[in-house]
Amino acid sequence: MRTLASVEDLRAAIQAWRRAAERIAFVPTMGDLHAGHLALVRHARSRAPRVVVSVFVNPTQFGPGEDFEAYPRTLESDASQLAQEGVDLLFAPEVETLYPGGTEATTQIDVPQVSRGLCDDFRPGHFAGVATVVARLFNLVQPDVAVFGEKDYQQLAVIRRMVRDLCWPIGIDGVPTVREADGLAMSSRNRYLDAAERARAPLLYQTLCKVAAAVREGQRDYRELEREAMEKLAAAGFQPEYVAIRHAQTLQALETGQRPARVLAAARLGRARLIDNVGL
């Protein structure tokens, strides 16, 4: 596996593969890789002979007071895991490489509608930061297919919409969330949980599963189900941000009985902000 940090080196490698008509699958990450990321990499390997992974902690998707500085940076162990997975190229640029004009006045991509509400109510500007960096990475890597986890479901919907709107010939594959044995969705931010919080954390997933089961069993009052789930999480010591039953593609509020649907939630538990979702 080659590890590259410059745009010039990356372009040279990509051009060589393009000339040989080799398809490229791409997995963008912020590093601190766990089994959830490795599932994305394995999926990417099944989709194309060449696999590129990026590790870049993107400053423009963190709001003021969020964990940009504290976000774990573990490039050495990330690189050795990726090499074992048979990845061809790791792209790990510096901030100045992806934002040569700085991060403040940079060109931004806004994907309206699907970016609004849910996480955006609590992390304003986050999805513009995600769309902006993913667009840059797509332009550099020129993948045929890019792979994202379903855990960040709103992010996946934003990327799908951006690619559709900008007519990029890139397939976007979503991979199901990888969970710990007790159901907690794997996330780099789980390390912020202390032992007592870690023991309580699976309640988020359990609550989502109960909401989904109630809908399947014919419960018609979605707003009431969302309210009850919020109350249950708050009673267990979470600070719930939202529990929402939404249209699975547009993420707009759902009329009773409409499909496809997704139940999504975000909640703070101690220092960690947890997000999760289940399909209906």
Give least dist CB 27 to ligand PAF, A.
9
Piece of the chain touching ligand PAF by CB under 6 A; list 26-34, 64-72, 163-171, 248-256? 26-34
Is 162 a residue that touches ligand PAF (CB under 6 A)? no
H/E run at residue 6: none
Marked catalytic residue, from 34, 37, 126, 247: 37
Which among 96, 54, 98 has a CA at the least distance from the CA of 79?
54
- For residues 92 and 5, the answer to whether their CB atoms sit within 8 Å is yes
Q: What is the spatial distance between Cα 138 and Cα 91, in angstroms, rounded to a whole number?
A: 12
Among 4, 13, 14, 30, binds ligand PAF (CB under 6 A): 30
134 binds ligand PAF (CB under 6 A): yes
Instruction: State yes or no: residue 174 binds ligand PAF (CB under 6 A).
Output: no
Q: Which stretch binds ligand PAF (CB under 6 A): 27-35, 83-91, 216-224, 245-253?
A: 27-35
Q: Each residue of 204-228: b (16+ CB within 10 Å) or e?
A: bbebbebbbebbeeeeeebeebbeb
Tokens of residue 87, six digits: 């990845």
- What's the closest the beta carbon of residue 235 comes to ligand PAF, in angstroms? 30
Q: Is 187 in the site for ligand PAF (CB under 6 A)?
A: no
Binder of ligand PAF out of 14, 40, 130, 211 (CB under 6 A): 130
Between 58 and 142, name the residue whose CB sits nearer to ligand PAF.
58
Residue type, 143: P
Footprint (CB under 6 A) of ligand PAF, residues 37-96: 58, 61
Site track for ligand PAF across 200-239, x = CB under 6 A:
----------------------------------------
Quick check: is 43 catalytic? no
C-beta neighbour count of 235 within 10 angstroms: 9
Please say which residue, 133 or 229, places its beta carbon nearer to ligand PAF. 133
The per-type count for the chain, helices as H runs and strands as E runs, is 9, 9
Residue 22 or 173 having the CB closest to ligand PAF: 173
In the bound state with ligand PAF, the residue whose beta carbon lies nearer, of 4 and 203, is 4
Interface residue with ligand PAF, options 10, 13, 26, 29 (CB under 6 A): 29
**CB contact set of 66 (below 8 Å; sequence gap of 6+):** 123
One of 32, 78, 150, 152 touching ligand PAF (CB under 6 A): 152
Q: Which residues contact 154 (CB under 8 A, 6 or more apart)?
A: 114, 115, 118, 119, 120, 127, 251, 264
133 binds ligand PAF (CB under 6 A): yes
6 CB neighbour count, 10 Å cutoff: 12
Sign of CA dihedral 112, 160, 143, 92: positive
Q: What share of the chain is helix, strand, coil (3-state, %, to 5)?
A: 40, 20, 40
Enumerate binding residues for ligand PAF (CB under 6 A): 28-30, 58, 61, 130, 133-134, 152, 155
Catalytic annotation, residues: 37
